[in-house]
Structure formats: structure tokens, C-alpha cells
Amino acid sequence: MLKKDAIQYFGTKSALAKAAGVKPPSVSAWGDLVPEKRAVRLEKASNGELHYDPIDYDKPIAPAQ
């Protein structure tokens, strides 16, 4: 689930944070992808309009150089 899609759905970062059960600064700290546990919660909060896909979270992360 992309953070930009979640912000668009909920309207503001503050509303997204409330739905995700976190404080607004946490949303700002997320990368492009909503953290997996929060994505599951947001899918439920949006009645499935936002979609959590576990495949998005199974992609390997490049090692730090």
C-alpha cells in the first residue's frame, strides 16, 4: 500500500495517522510504502478501498553499501 494513496483516501496525514493508530510524525517518517501492520489496519478502516497486498512486502531489500 502506497503512502500517497492512503493520504489521498483519508484526506490528510493527521486523518491517516488516526486511522492507522499512530501519531502524525510517524506517518511523515514512513517511506513510500505504508508499514505492513498499518496497511492491514488501513485496509479494514477503508472497508477494503485501500488494498493491502502481502506481495508488496515480500520484495527483497537491497543491502546497504
* Residue 60 Cα to chain centre, angstroms: 18
Q: Which domains does the chain have, with CATH numbers?
A: 3-58 (1.10.260.40)
Distance CA 46, CA 44 (A): 5
Predicted TM-score (pTM) of the model is 0.85
Residue 9, SS3 per DSSP: helix
Reading the chain (65 residues) residue by residue, the pLDDT tens digits are 999 999 999 999 999 999 999 999 999 999 999 999 999 999 999 999 999 999 988 876 666 66
Residue 20 has φ and ψ, to the nearest 5°, of: -85, -10
Distance CA 2, CA 24 (A): 16
Residue 2 has φ and ψ, to the nearest 5°, of: -85, 140
